[in-house]
A and B are shown apart, each in its own frame.
Chain A
Amino acid sequence: MHREKRTLGFYVLAAFFVVFVLFLYGPFSAIFILSFQGPSGGLTFPLNGVSVHWFFNLFEQQAVGNFGASFGRSLMLGLMVMVTTVIVSLLAGLAFRRKFTGGSPLFYLTIASLVVPSIIVSLGIGVLFQQIGFRPSWFTSAFGAHLTWTLPFGVLIMFAVFNRFSPSYEEAARDLGAPPWQTFRHVLLPMIAPSLIGVGLFGFSLSYDEFARTLLTAGTFNTLPLEIYGMTTNVTTPVLYALGTVTTLFSFIVIGGTVGIIALLGARRARAAL
């Protein structure tokens, strides 16, 4: 690739990009700073001293809501959704490698799952469970509601992966006498592993942060986003910001860890190829 001199357009767009990134991260840094507000400080600047008072406050018994238990539920639900999304998306991705009767309607149903407003899914599942006499709970109705949001992403990612995947690797393995399971386990799976990890990250994060779909389907016990949503109207202390900081840092750790694993897999493969 030849190097041209940077044009004026480059500098304008680079500045635009920087402003966009500041726009994305700026507000978050405001609540990050304010979560270290002193014990007598309020919801806005200036800082009234610096303390970790509100983080301790977070783990004490709250007037509204219980942070620890709802975090546990959200974590568990996120992991359940993640595992299910990875397996179901992989299977569906494999299915769509061939044409089959009903494939097209199923594809459009998957797209529909992406565009149907989340509150309609929430209302539909909630009312359905109520009428057939099932008690809604975070691990049944909310679990299903979350899958309608994570599966389309998973399936579309697998679509993209298999569209770019050359079958010649599998043919080579087969010509060398590998049985089907070995071909899958030692050829296909390692090649698509980074994408599967990506699907897992999407599945977990989308579920962990979802609340519109949980609104009418969580049953008696709240998930963390529902708890936070409730707090936005009831809580008037920086404990809300402390919760925001903790849960966002948790998301960052999950994302960072996943990206790290993908990079590690890539590096190992690059070394193996040498």
Chain B
Amino acid sequence: MAVAEQIITAPLTKPRLRRAPLSLASFASYLQAIPLTLILAFFLLVPILFLLVVSFWDYDFARMYPGFITRNYAEVLGSWVTWKTYLNTLKFAVIVWAIALFIGFWVAYFLAFHVRSAAMQTVLFLICTVPFLTSNIIRMISWIPVLGRNGLINTTLVNAGIIPQPIEWLLYSDFAVVLAMVHLYTLFMVTPIFNTLMRIDKSLIEAARDAGASAWQIMWNVILPLAKPGIAIGTIFVVTLVMADFSTVQVMSGGQSASVALMMKNQMSLLQYPSAAANAIVLLVLVLLLVAAILRVVDIRKEL
């Protein structure tokens, strides 16, 4: 216990040694960073490196055979079906991102600039946050009674005489997939944008107005540039979540649409692990490239 106390409290007592490289304080930092390092090393780094190895292995219906073959990659990169699946996933990412950005920005803008009391801001923000902390699958299947052939929307429209027969593409279509993804992931856009908007000094806006800027100019030249970091962080969240999604695509398209992760999941259920691993590596490289591109726009470490 005494040791634990020392580990926890040591940094608080030695701030003046901050710059000394081998001080007791930096030793404490190492000790404090050990649990995080070990967990991420064992459950993130090692498994991914292992997948890289496995992606070169051979396999049959029963087991995997260690080796070094490039057939798994040849299958991934050489197949027109796989390319179409990757393009389809990117298509979902772009559409969902654009819609989430539009909704997320205006919701955050409303909360940050139009709601005047801090208490009201907190309450409204919590209302937006609560669904995020409930089950994704439940939120997804809750669209079924709304969108289905005999669902709420179709029944209402038919009974009102607006349409002669139920609309078929509401559920089990790309439309349903995009709708459910926007429903699931827009919050990841609202939160970071709200966070950056809240930190904009209101006097900057007043100064712009006093200098004769129109509402449009204030938005374009003052608010948007300052909101860029939040938009970037939200973009990282939404894009990576959509790129990784298999359940929404599976449930909401009724098996009619495909995504990379869904393809991986099917390979996994057929025990084609090396094949799935090759897909995992390609997907990972693609996602990391996208994130790296976004990070060029903004240093998120400064923004926390």
Interface of B is mostly: helix
- With known contacts A14-B110, A95-B33, A125-B43, A181–B247 Cβ distance under 8 A: no
The answer to whether B141 and A91 have CB atoms under 8 Å apart is no
Q: Which residues in A have their C-beta under 8 angstroms from that of B25?
A: 98
The answer to whether B51 and A120 have CB atoms under 8 Å apart is yes
The answer to whether B35 and A148 have CB atoms under 8 Å apart is no
With CB as the reference atom, state the residue of chain A lying closest to B291. A115
- With known contacts A156-B304, A251-B135, A13–B151 Cβ distance under 8 A: no
B244 contacts A by Cβ under 8 Å: yes
The answer to whether A28 and B131 have CB atoms under 8 Å apart is yes
The answer to whether B42 and A120 have CB atoms under 8 Å apart is no
A104 to chain B, nearest CB (A): 9
Q: Once the chains are docked, how many angstroms separate the CA of A160 from the CA of B233?
A: 14
The answer to whether B244 and A119 have CB atoms under 8 Å apart is yes
Q: Which residues in A have their C-beta under 8 angstroms from that of B222?
A: none
With CB as the reference atom, state the residue of chain B lying closest to A91. B32
**B260-304 contact mask (Cβ, 8 Å, vs A): 1 or 0:** 010011001000010011001001100110010000000011001
Interface residues of B in 158-200 (CB under 8 A from A): 183, 186
With CB as the reference atom, state the residue of chain B lying closest to A158. B304
The answer to whether A113 and B12 have CB atoms under 8 Å apart is no
User: What is the interface size of chain A, counting residues whose CB is below 8 A from a CB of the partner?
Assistant: 103
Q: Which residues in A have their C-beta under 8 angstroms from that of B42?
A: 144
B106 contacts A by Cβ under 8 Å: yes
Interface of A is mostly: helix
The answer to whether B127 and A21 have CB atoms under 8 Å apart is yes
The answer to whether B13 and A247 have CB atoms under 8 Å apart is no
Q: Which residues in B have their C-beta under 8 angstroms from that of A184?
A: 5, 8-9, 12
User: What is the interface size of chain B, counting residues whose CB is below 8 A from a CB of the partner?
Assistant: 93
Other A-B pairs, 17, CB within 8 Å; known A23-B183, A91-B8, A144-B43: A13-B110, A92-B35, A95-B28, A99-B26, A117-B261, A120-B51, A124-B44, A151-B36, A155-B36, A180-B12, A183-B12, A183-B13, A184-B12, A252-B130, A254-B133, A255-B133, A259-B126
Interface residues of A (CB under 8 A from B): 1, 3, 9-10, 13-14, 16-17, 20-21, 23-28, 30-31, 34, 43-45, 87-89, 91-92, 94-103, 106-107, 109-121, 123-128, 131, 144-145, 147-148, 151, 155-156, 159-160, 163, 167, 170-171, 174, 179-181, 183-184, 188, 201-202, 205-206, 208-209, 211-212, 215-216, 225, 228-229, 232, 240-241, 244, 247-248, 251-252, 254-255, 259
Q: Which 4 A-B pairs have the closest CB atoms?
A: A124-B47, A117-B244, A180-B9, A95-B32
Interface residues of B (CB under 8 A from A): 5-13, 15, 18, 21, 25-26, 28-33, 35-37, 39-40, 42-48, 50-51, 54, 103, 106-107, 109-111, 114, 116, 124, 126-128, 130-131, 133-139, 141-146, 148, 150-152, 155, 183, 186, 215, 236, 240, 243-244, 246-247, 251, 261, 264-265, 268, 273, 276-277, 280, 283-284, 287-288, 291, 300-301, 304
Could you list some 26 contacts between A and B, CB below 8 A? A13-B110, A21-B127, A28-B131, A30-B146, A45-B151, A45-B152, A94-B11, A95-B36, A98-B26, A99-B26, A102-B33, A109-B40, A119-B244, A119-B246, A119-B261, A144-B42, A151-B39, A159-B304, A163-B304, A184-B9, A215-B268, A240-B141, A244-B138, A244-B142, A247-B138, A248-B138
